[in-house]
Amino acid sequence: MSIPDSEFHSLANASDLEEGKGRPVELNHHRIALIRHDGKVYAIEDRCPHADASLAFGPVENGCIACPWHFAEFRLETGEVLSGPATCGIRTYAVRESKGQIEINLDHNADGSLHKTEG
Ligand code: FES
């Protein structure tokens, strides 16, 4: 990923994010769920496409998170939907840990590609 340092924004203290637990945060009108799973931090859109539930408090297992309302499953790395009732995936964000902070870039996916513009 070659995103300049200046394009990352500090979002939380790294020590505040416990293994296996999500945390909802908001930045510039983006609802984001931060999740630490197997030691790695993920940032995903905190809005289930089925009925708008917050995904931050869903159970995390095997690289996936389940929606706490009706249990649609999403892959943390890609946001891909794995099981319904949601019929589409969610956005991911480029995220990193640096100097004790969790930092995010709102314009890029976890794989470093640019988000597609909506419409
Ligand atoms: S709101 Fe997420 S599966 Fe229904």
pLDDT at 118: 60
The letter for the amino acid at 87 is T
Sheet with 101-105, edge to edge strand ranges? 9-13, 101-105, 92-98, 40-45, 30-37, 22-27
| Protein residue whose Cα sits closest to atom 4 of ligand 1 | 70
For 77-107, the pLDDT digits (tens) are 999 999 999 999 999 999 999 999 999 999 9
Q: Which CATH number belongs to the domain containing residue 27 in this structure?
A: 2.102.10.10
* Domain assignment present for 23: yes
Q: pLDDT tens digits, residue range 22-63?
A: 999 999 999 999 999 999 999 999 999 999 999 999 999 999
Q: For the whole prediction, is pTM greater than 0.75?
A: yes
Q: Ligand 1, closest atom to CA 68?
A: 2
Assigned domain for 117 exists: no
Q: Is the beta carbon of 21 within 6 A of some atom in ligand 1?
A: no
Position 5 confidence tier, pLDDT thresholds 50, 70, 90: confident
Secondary structure of residue 58 in the 3-state scheme: coil
State which residues form the domain around 79.
5-105
The SS3 call for residue 7 is: helix
The answer to whether residue 112 is domain-embedded is no
Report the domain count for the chain. Answer: 1
User: In angstroms, rounded to a whole number, what is the distance separating the alpha carbons of residues 81 and 101?
Assistant: 29
Q: Is the CB of 86 under 6 A from ligand 1?
A: yes
